[in-house]
Each structure stands twice: as C-alpha cells, then as structure tokens.
Amino acid sequence: MGNSKTAIAEFFNSVIKTFIVKNFMKFEEVMREYREIVFEKLKEYLPQTNSNLLGEFYRMVREYSERKGKYFRPTLLLLSCEMHGGNFNDALLPAVVMQLSEDWILIHDDIEDHSEERRHKPTLHRIYGNELALNAGDALHIIMWKALGDAVRNLANNRGWNLFDKMYNILITTTEGQYIELSWIRHGKVDISEEEYYELIYRKAGYYTVIGPLQLGAIVAGALENNLKDIERFGKPFGCAFQIWDDVMNLTVDTKLQGKERGGDILEGKRTLMLIHLLKNCTLTERDYLITLFRKPRSQRTWDDANYVLELMEKYGSIEYAIQKSKEFIKNAKMEFDRYASNLPDSMAKKLIREAMDFVISRDK
C-alpha cells in the first residue's frame, strides 16, 4: 500500500510539472491524465480472489470500473480542490469515491432503463442477468462507502464529516431524479413542461455530475459554506447543459463512438428536451402518435419507432433547439463562474474548470 501511494504521488508530481511547462494543456487532456491517477488508487478497492466459488462474482464487481469511464466527475472534484487552494492528495480518495459511485449507479440504471450497451460493451445485466448484475452493483456500492469512510478518516477537523454529508446529499438527490424519470415512464406522463424537465435533470444529473463534485473538492480544500452555495450559481446551468448535450449525443452520435446504443433514449422512453419541443411543434396527428408510443412499455417500442421519432425531431428542429439551449446554459454558467472565480487566485485549475464548460457542449462521446 505504501509503495502504491508513493508511486501515485510521484506520478502526480510529474503531471503537475508537465502542467507548468505546458500551460496550454486542454481539459480533455487533463481528464485523461487524472483518470489514470484516480484509477490506480481505485484499483486498491477492487477485490481480487482465487476462489472458484466467488471468481465470477468479483469479476462482475470489477467489470464497469475496469471498463473505465471518462472520469469527468473526479476531474472536476480534483480541479475544484486545487482552485480553492487545497491539496491534491487529500482530494484523491474522494475522487475515487465519486468514480465508484458512478460505476455502481450505472449498473443499476442500466437495469432500470433496459439499456443494452455501456462503455462499448454489453451491459452487465445482458451478460449475467438482472439478479446477478444487481447484486454486483450492491457490492460495488458497499465498496464505495468503505472508500468514503477512509476518506473521512484522512481529513482533519470537520472536513471529513462535511464530505460524508455532501456525498449523502448528492446520492439521495440523484435517486430522487431517477424516481421522477421512472415514475413519468411508469405512469405514462409524456406531456411535461421545460421547467419540469430542468428540475428532473438538476436532480438526476446536474447535482451529481457538476455541482456535487465541485462542492466536494471545495470541502476538501476547506472552503466555507458560502462558497458551496455560490458554486450552485454556475454549477446548475453547467449541469443542465451537460445533461441536455448528453441527450443530444444519444440521438446524433454513432453507437460505436459514444459507447451506448444511438437512439436508446427513445426506446427507453426518456423524456428529453427534444421530445418536449417536438410535442409543441408537430401536427396533432403526430402528437397523438408520440404520446401513444411513449406510453407503451419498453418491450413494445421498436427501432423503427425510434428512427421515426428521430426523423420527426430532425424535421421540426428539436435537436437544434436543444443544442442552442445547452449553449445558452453554458453562457450563463460562464458569467456566474467568472463572477465567483474573480475572488480566487488565478490558477491552471480555474482555467480548466472554465474550459470544461466548452468541453461539455463540444464532445461527441
């Protein structure tokens, strides 16, 4: 364990030296660098076993983590800690916790959403069945709390328990968002307003993906409660833009590139900004068809249905509308961020967080 910590510290120092020399490094490049650092630490929490009885179980538990995501959330956490004057090593384990939370949540989400692909491979439940995949997700969830407990013990003063409380708030808010979305699907609620949609994505994704990680990093650095509240001012539009763009990518980016099935959100019955716009602008006949379609069970929607809906969205400019909305949110986020960050020293981390806002509305995976 000690050698591993030393290696991580040395790796981090080499990265920082690179930052100093190469002041032009982009957010995406930094995210790739941080992903390797965080994953090396995360691997310490992934169980290995020689047991014939449990070998398959622990392979399932490790599966999504070893596939590796983009590590957007851990990167924001680490950069926020640095921007607020904190220590990278203090934030490393909280970044691991953030990534572990994503990995187990995705296992459960994929079951709930009937998703077919995740990170360029079949979803865990497609390989092993719902029951075993759900159990593996439970195990990874428990491992996350172990890592969080270690992080709490590592932090002095009240920072550790503040970190714990914030992580709890992040996760409970995320389940609230998931409930809203699943309940709309279950009860056939199709005709929702933009305001309802924005509330959904704030709870389901915005808080979890942007606001929470930024606040966790600030907590590790010892930021005040006022800082956490101010982070929400730019974090909320930032998070909305992230999720809207995610929804756009699902309909526009090839399956092989994005790592999950193109148009899968339509098959899953997701209520998106594009659907809201389409329902407002299509003919009454098309609207009746769409409402009927989105009230059907997942098993009764086909790829022909998904392609037809996609054609309608392109016809009525629904995708372009969502793209423009995401750009408006980012413009607002930048304005609020500049106001907030003007009170912080100039740093590479500050520059990169602002650059991350452009990244979320230009990515294709």
Query: Which among 68, 82, 63 has a CA at the least distance from the CA of 40?
Result: 68
**222-281 pLDDT per residue, tens:** 998 999 999 999 999 999 999 999 999 999 887 666 555 678 889 989 999 999 999 999
Above 90 in pLDDT, residue 185? yes
The helix/strand/coil state of 262 is coil
pLDDT band at 157 (very low <50, low <70, confident <90, very high): confident
Query: Which among 303, 304, 279, 274 has a CA at the least distance from the CA of 289?
Result: 279
Above 50 in pLDDT, residue 19? no
Above 60 in pLDDT, residue 92? yes
The helix/strand/coil state of 257 is helix
Encoded amino acid at 355, one letter: E
pLDDT at 274: 97
Residue 97's contacts (CB-CB under 8 Å, 6 or more residues apart) are: 144, 147, 148, 151, 167
Structure-block tokens of residue 12: 């981090």
The helix/strand/coil state of 67 is helix
CA atoms of 131 and 271, how far apart (whole Å): 27
Share of the chain above pLDDT 70, in %: 91
pLDDT at 292: 96
Structure-block tokens of residue 324: 């423009």
Over the chain, what is the mean pLDDT?
91
The conformation of residue 202, written as its DSSP 8-state character, comes to I
Q: Can you tell me which residue has the tokens 């009454």?
A: 284
Q: Can you tell me which residue has the tokens 């029951």?
A: 131
pLDDT at 312: 96
DSSP per position, 299-325: GG--HHHHHHHHHHHHHTTHHHHHHHH
Q: Where are the alpha helices (DSSP H) in the chain?
A: 2-21, 27-42, 55-67, 72-83, 88-113, 124-128, 130-154, 159-186, 194-201, 212-220, 225-252, 255-258, 264-267, 273-281, 284-295, 303-315, 318-341, 348-360
Q: How big is the chain by its Cα radius of gyration, in Å?
A: 21
pLDDT at 49: 85
Contact 75, 34 (CB under 8 A): yes
In order of 108, 252, 260, 278, 322, the CA distances from 246 in angstroms are: 19, 10, 11, 18, 10
**186-195 pLDDT per residue, tens:** 999 999 999 9
**287-341 pLDDT per residue, tens:** 999 999 999 998 899 999 999 999 999 999 999 999 999 999 999 999 999 999 9
Residue 313's contacts (CB-CB under 8 Å, 6 or more residues apart) are: 251, 274, 275, 277, 278, 319
Encoded amino acid at 60, one letter: M
**Host H or E run for residue 121:** strand 121-122
For the chain, list the domains and their CATH numbers: 2-360 (1.10.600.10)
pLDDT at 256: 66
DSSP per position, 141-171: HHHHHHHHHHHHHHS-TTHHHHHHHHHHHHH
CA atoms of 50 and 62, how far apart (whole Å): 14
pLDDT at 3: 53
CA atoms of 11 and 37, how far apart (whole Å): 7
Mean pLDDT across 185-204: 95
**34-65 pLDDT per residue, tens:** 999 999 999 999 998 888 899 999 999 999 99
According to DSSP, the residues that pair with 117 across neighbouring strands are: 122
CA atoms of 279 and 319, how far apart (whole Å): 13
**126-151 pLDDT per residue, tens:** 999 999 999 999 999 999 999 999 99
pLDDT at 258: 57
